[in-house]
Every structure is written in structure tokens, then in C-alpha cells.
Amino acid sequence: MYDDKFHEECGVFGIFGHKDAAALTALGLHALQHRGQEACGIVSIDDNSDFHAHRALGLVDSTFSKASVMNALKGHIAIGHNRYATSGDTLLRNVQPFYGDMAFGGFTIAHNGNLTNAYKVREALVKKGALFQSTSDTEVIVHLVATQSEDTPILDRLESALKQVEGAYSLVAARDDLLFGIRDPYGVRPLLLGKLGNSYIITSESCALDIIGAELIRDLKPGEAAIVTKEGVTFKQMLPFQSKRFCIFEYVYFARPDSVIEDKSVYDTRRQIGVELAKEAPCPTGDIVVPVPDSGVPSAIGYAAQSGLPFELGIIRNHYVGRTFIEPTEQIRHLGVKLKHNANKAYIEGKSVILVDDSIVRGTTSRKIVEMVREAGAKEVHVRISSPPTKHSCFYGIDTPESGELMANKFSVEGIREQIGADTLSYISLDGLYRAVGEARRNDDNPGYCDACFSGKYPISLTDHDDGHPEKRISSLLG
């Protein structure tokens, strides 16, 4: 169901040296389901160096719950991928992991993020005769790895390929003797290393380690590769470190609250955002603090604690609403809000309600939720948002509307308040958000995070966009 949020586009998981590699990968992907719900896939590699693949549109549990599917995914190495995509891009040929039959043997790769020069690189490859199978930017890396002299070792091929691409990416790749993971030189998307017995895992979030009982070793550094073989794991600073720009929105919304990323609990950080928000934007007339579930919950807890007001589940979410049976037309979006959320009238009636949500994208959901809370008898409705206004599109792997469709791009905060029908509206400031992640304020010379969807300051060049290609992704350009 369309929910008027920014959406994470992908989650990745890879494991080396376990007899149940594919089953553990399926569990890991299940834990990462929030990072992509449109499609998923697993490629495994067995002791005979044979590759086995299963990819499908749909959720992990429906795709990998059949014994016939899992029994066919033999081997001690596996990588997997969850994908979110807008409907036009959800084509089976775009579902990862990708496989390539190279001069050195089989090779498989899966990627979270977005290459910002994929169109340019792809055009050059096509002119040289490359035949692309998909419209995904990830396939550019497959071709760059393939088209090198025959005796080039695999790690040199990967290094050369990755030095030709720009953008935000965390990727896992594998062949019959190797699991490989790397983050882009700015570390925009998360990627971390874990261990289960003697097996190593490279994945997007620690919740994917928890589900299989693996321990978190550490996050990979920007530009750092983890190379897992039967001898163990080694690290290499494969790409020159630029400056760290981890996506600050992962802490606001995308990551699971039970994950730990960059040594920070996502839940604690989200709660602290609520504390900072209450300091910056108190609500003297408020009676109760109500989260817009589920993503607004930790920040609402922090807001309530800081302001000394009761926290109540004044809106209940129906978790059993299918995602795809409603097309995201403007008319249906309005209905969709009521399918997903219902006001808990007994706690709202006659109260001045402080609603805490993580973001306002187009504003359609916020307007309907404010209306719903008023219809349930609220005396006043005050909206507090745990991110700064989202004025700019993301080009680094998050599915966002074009900037012209973003409400904060079109209206002032007061204008948005009017549009959504709230009595008051406040957003956390960018400095407030930085305080919540442990900084004194945003350091303009070296912020340490990407915050481009709030600030408009894009840390990585937008080559395709600047070259006049209007769409954000190669899948849109070439699909």
C-alpha cells in the first residue's frame, strides 16, 4: 500500500562457509524486508562451483518458504537481495543478485544504493558492444568486472570497476572461493560484517545478524572492502576515503529500530531525536503525545519523556494491509490511510493531541491523519516532525518523488500547516538532528553525514543528472 514515505530501495546479505548458506540468507533477507518489498533473490554456490539462483517479485516469506526452492539453493556460499522499486521498474530481469559467466568463472553481485554516473558508463559500454540484460545500474558493475584482460585477478577487476563508478553503494559479491563486500568512498549506505561460528556474513543491518544468532563484528569503513575466503577475513582500503557521509535519514526512518549502525542504536537515536524535538518545539497546550505508527513511535517516546506528558497509542495501525493491491492514484491514497490507521477514540476525545511523525513527503497521509484525529474528537492537533523538511530528492538509493512533488519544496512550514490542517506544526532543525546523533551541530566543512534531502548539499557528484538526464535512475532512463 502506498504510504507517502521515502522508501529505502534495497537490503543485501551474504554469507561464506555455512552448509545452510541459502536458508540463513533467506532469514537475513526476511529481517531486512523493510528495505525492499517488491522483489527478492538468492544466488548460492556449491562445492562443485555450480551456481543456483532463485529470484521473484514479492516478499521473502512467500518466495523462500517452499522446500523445493530452498533445496535447490545448494552450497556453502550465498548472497541475497531485497528490492524496492516503483511499479514500472519491478521487472523480473532487474531482480538481484545478478550473475555473470566471466572468463574466470561464475560471479554474482547484489547492490544497495544508486550509481550517479551509471547512464554515462553504460552508454560507453554499449558503444563498445556490451549487451545489457536489465535496466538496473548494478549491471554496469557486472560489465566493468567482465571487460578486463583475461588474466586480471578478481579483486583487481572489482577495484578497477568500482573506480569507474560514482554514487552511493554498499555491495556484496561472490564467486566459488570468495565473498566480497564494499562500501562507497563516502559510506552513504550501511554495510557491516558479522560472524556465526566460523562463517562470515556481510549485510546491510545488524537485525539480519540477530535473526540468525550471529555476532556483529563491525561496520565497514567508507571505501573499505571485506574479503572473505576459507582462510578467514581480510580488509582492504580499496577506494580512496573521501569523507564520511552516512545517510542521516537511516537513523530517522529507514533502518529498523532494533539495528545498531555505526555503533549507534537506531532506537536510542530516534528517541533522542524526539527529545531534541521537544526541546526545540514544545507544545504548552498539549495533553498527550501520540505517535503516527510505527515509525513515529521511538521519537514520540522521547518527546513525551522530555515534555513530561503521557505517551498514548492514540492511532492504531493495521499490520495486515496488503502493499500492492491498491494503485497509488491520488484518490485512492486518501482511502489507503484509513485502511492502515485508525484513531483510538477513547484516548483522543477532548484532548489536545501532539502527533509525532518522522516526515511529511507529499502531505496526503498527514492531512488524512490530522483529519482522522479531529473526527475522533481531539480538541487540538499539533504535529511534530522528527526530521527537517524534505525539500530535495535523493539520488543515492532512496526512492523519493521528484522535488517538485515534495510538499516542503512547494510550501513554507506555515503553508504546510495549513495544507494538513494542524493547529501547529514544527520540524526538528538540521542542527537538532545532528545533536540527536551526537554532534554539537552540523559542521558545514565536514558534516559526517549525508543530509542532502534536507540541505540540498549533495556530497557525491550527480553526473547523469547534471549531464541533462532528467530522471534519477538508470532504470527509469532505460526501462
Report d(CA 269, CA 252) in Å as an integer.
8
**The three cell numbers locating residue 463:** 553526473
| Identity of the amino acid at 90 | T
User: Given candidates 248, 355, 420, 430, which one binds ligand SF4 under the rule CB under 6 A?
Assistant: 248
User: Given candidates 450, 460, 474, 478, which one binds ligand SF4 under the rule CB under 6 A?
Assistant: 450
What would the DSSP string read from start to end of 168-187?
EEEEEEEETTEEEEEE-TT-
Report d(CA 9, CA 87) in Å as an integer.
13
Report d(CA 41, CA 189) in Å as an integer.
20
Site for ligand SF4 in 136-195 (CB under 6 A): 188
* Residue 85 lies near ligand SF4 (rule: CB under 6 A): no
What is the smallest separation between the CB atom of 398 and ligand SF4, expressed in angstroms? 4
User: Given candidates 84, 99, 107, 249, which one binds ligand SF4 under the rule CB under 6 A?
Assistant: 249
Span near ligand SF4 by CB under 6 A; candidates 122-130, 196-204, 327-335, 446-454 = 446-454
* Residue 452 lies near ligand SF4 (rule: CB under 6 A): yes
Number of chain positions touching ligand SF4 (CB under 6 A): 11
Cβ atoms of 112 and 14 within 8 Å: the answer is no
* Residue 225 lies near ligand SF4 (rule: CB under 6 A): no
Pairing of strands 178-183, 105-115: unpaired
What is the smallest separation between the CB atom of 395 and ligand SF4, expressed in angstroms? 7
What is the smallest separation between the CB atom of 393 and ligand SF4, expressed in angstroms? 8
Report d(CA 352, CA 460) in Å as an integer.
44
Span near ligand SF4 by CB under 6 A; candidates 77-85, 243-251, 338-346, 362-370 = 243-251
**The three cell numbers locating residue 91:** 521487472
Cβ atoms of 290 and 355 within 8 Å: the answer is yes
What is the smallest separation between the CB atom of 113 and ligand SF4, expressed in angstroms? 9
Site string for ligand SF4, 390-429 (x = CB under 6 A): ----x-x-x-------------------------------
**The three cell numbers locating residue 330:** 491520488
What is the smallest separation between the CB atom of 456 and ligand SF4, expressed in angstroms? 9
Report d(CA 350, CA 337) in Å as an integer.
23
10 flagged as catalytic: yes
Distances, alpha carbon 91 to alpha carbons 56, 134, 221, in Å = 9, 9, 32
Comparing CB distances to ligand SF4, the nearer of 172 and 450 is: 450
Report d(CA 392, CA 401) in Å as an integer.
9
Which parts of this chain interact with ligand SF4 (CB under 6 A)?
188, 247-249, 394, 396, 398, 450-453
Positions annotated as catalytic residues are: 10
